[in-house]
Structure 1
Amino acid sequence: MKPATRHLTHCRRCQAPIVWCLTTANGRRQPVDFEPTEEGNVAVMQGADGVLYVRTVTAARPDIKPGEWRAMPHHATCPSPPPPRLSGGGGQRQVSGVRPVPWQR
């Protein structure tokens, strides 16, 4: 099965055809390649509300249900991925001030 062309859009970086889906785990938007593939690690389905939903194919849930199709997340296939975010993980953190007294309970 293939997504409807009304869901089709293009990646801003590489112009590849993609669809935007909502993850079933937390409702975040995720770009997925438009073309279904057997090597894909996500299952996409269209909900009753017309929105595309995506879930990860895992060892616990490897089966593809009727109405779903396998696809690949576009982040894994994009030849021009976005630059990494600077989200305070491992770099130097800039100190903006000093707490005058220790925390007390």
Structure 2
Amino acid sequence: MKPSRHHLTRCRRCGAPICWALTSANGRRQPIDAEPTEAGNLAVMQAADGVLYVRAVTAARPEIRPGEWQAMPHHATCTSPPPRRSSSSGQRARSGVRPVPWAQR
């Protein structure tokens, strides 16, 4: 099963066709590839209200139910991913900390 046309949009970085779905775990939006694939680790379904919902295919729930299809998260397949954030090895500026030691009496 494929997502309907009104769910399709394009990735701003690579231009690939994607769909936005809500995660069943916490309701956050997640981009998924529009083309279903057997290698996907997500199960996507369209609810009665027309919203796409996605859940992870895990060892505890590996089966794909009727009405679901497998897809890949677009973050895993994007050809122009956003640059990685560097972990700063230097010290960060502290806020809310006294810049001098406490005066001793």
Q: Which residue of 2 is the match for residue 94 of structure 1? A: 93
TM-score, scaled to structure 2: 0.86
- 1:31 matched to which residue of 2? 31
Which has the higher Rg, Structure 1 or Structure 2? 2
**Cα RMSD over matched residues?**
1.9
4+ residue stretches of structure 1 with deviation over 3 A?
none
Structure 1 spans left out of the alignment, 5+ residues: 101-105
How far off its partner does 1:96 sit?
2.7
Tell me the percent identity: 74
Q: Could you say which residue in structure 1 is the equivalent of 2:8?
A: 8
Distance 2:84 2:48 in 1: 35
Q: Which residue of 1 aligns with 2:21?
A: 21
CA distance in 1, matches of 2:77, 2:46: 22
Aligned length: 99
What's the CA shift for 1:85?
Answer: 4.3
Report the AA paired with residue 11 of structure 2. C
Matching of residue 49 in structure 1 with residue 40 in structure 2? no
Deviation at 1:39, TM superposition (A): 0.2
1:43-73 deviations in whole A, cap 9, x for unaligned?
A: 0000111100000000000000000000000
